[in-house]
Amino acid sequence: MRIGIDLGGTKTEAIALAADGTELYRRRVASGRDYPATIATIRALVAAVESETGQKGTVGVGIPGTISPATGLVKNANSTWLIGHPFDRDLAQALGRPVRLANDADCFALSEASDGAGAGARVVFGVILGTGVGGGIVVEGKLLGGPNAIAGEWGHIPLPWPEDDERPGPRCYCGRHGCIETFLSGPALARDDGRGLTAAQIAAERPEGEALRRYQGRLARALGQIITLIDPEVIVLGGGLSRVESLYRAVPEQWGRWVFSDTVATRLLPPRHGDSSGVRGAAWLWGADEGVEEGS
């Protein structure tokens, strides 16, 4: 059995998956608001999962940040009380077993590559288009890592082939200007529209409005660059903006001009598991034959 934990700012969710991906149990609780409370919350969730299922499982956790390879401590976490702590080691001690952690965007990508929209594809790029912009790369069923723990962080590369009125671009919280996140996040779409509406309201009210057309073109450029770089078979969109149906038609219609190829066979797909992909991907951080004790 695999146990996945999705650690959010306000809610923490647990799921238990059988070897074939069948859901055995799910529970959601309020997140702890400090470091000791977060550890205690996850420990209680794992205990509840194992009590209800009568099985012992591996534990994977998706977090809004990552573990720095240089220090072994959490960095870049929205849940700021995690920053500077050896969260994976402390969780392992609390649970009495090894724990695997990954960025929540990586968990989304892994979920959709394992048994979601990208199942069976050799290379999958998972995209988060929400309050922020993130991504993860899965190759032959495994997350692509790296020495800096930033593989797939396309939200913080520049928007490619900028128009004159897109230079130098909005200032990003990372300190630079013109990052993809400043053009393709939900707040960026709302700012570009300029009418005080949310991204969801813009998409619902004006499915082919000017702001959304600009958004489609920018997404086509940004994904065209990704296709040229890693040539994925499937790109899966996640986050709130993945619900904008027009993206799946308009973006592939445009991205060919930005890809260094005569044809583009890459498929752009919505997520199969929707908002559940994060917690499912955390469970998939462990393989079917890894770390599960006999009888589980």
Per the structure, the complete domain to which residue 86 belongs is given by 2-107+276-283
Reference 95, options 159, 40, 158; nearest CA is 40
* Whether residue 128 is found in the same domain as residue 232: yes
295 belongs to a structural domain: no
Same domain for 135 and 97 = no
- Domain co-membership, 257 together with 138: yes
Q: Which pLDDT belongs to residue 296?
A: 39
Question: Considering its fold, how many domains does the chain have in total?
Answer: 2
| 206, 236: one domain | yes
One domain, residues 76 and 204: no
Quick one: 15 and 131 in the same domain?
Answer: no
pLDDT attached to residue 173: 86
> What is the SS3 string spanning 183-212?
HHCHHHHHHHHCCCCCHHHHHHHCCCCHHH
Asked whether residue 151 falls in the same domain as residue 244, the answer is yes
- Cα gap 53→2, rounded to integer Å: 11
Output the pLDDT for position 100: 96
> Would you state the pLDDT for residue 90?
98
Task: Tell whether 133 and 249 lie within a shared domain.
Answer: yes
Quick check: helix, strand or coil at residue 139?
Answer: strand
| Other CB atoms within 10 Å distance of the CB of residue 39 | 18
> In whole angstroms, what is the distance from residue 282 CA to residue 61 CA?
5
128 and 102, same domain (yes or no): no
Within a domain: residue 21?
Answer: yes
Q: Are residues 56 and 152 in the same domain?
A: no
The pLDDT of residue 78 is: 74
Is-contact 76 67, C-beta < 8 A?
Answer: no
Whether residues 138 and 94 share a domain: the answer is no
Structure tokens at 3: 């146990």
| Total Cβ atoms within 10 A of residue 296 | 14
Q: What angle do CA 122, 127, 129 make, to 5 degrees?
A: 165
Strand ranges in the chain using DSSP code E only, listed in sequence order: 2-7, 11-17, 23-30, 58-63, 66-67, 74-75, 99-103, 123-129, 133-139, 142-143, 234-238, 267-269
Give yes or no: residues 63 and 155 share one domain. no
**What are the pLDDT digits (tens) for 27-44?**
999 988 899 999 999 999
**Within-domain flag for 41:** yes
Domain harbouring 87, CATH code: 3.30.420.40
Low-confidence stretches of the chain (pLDDT beneath 70): 288-289, 291-296
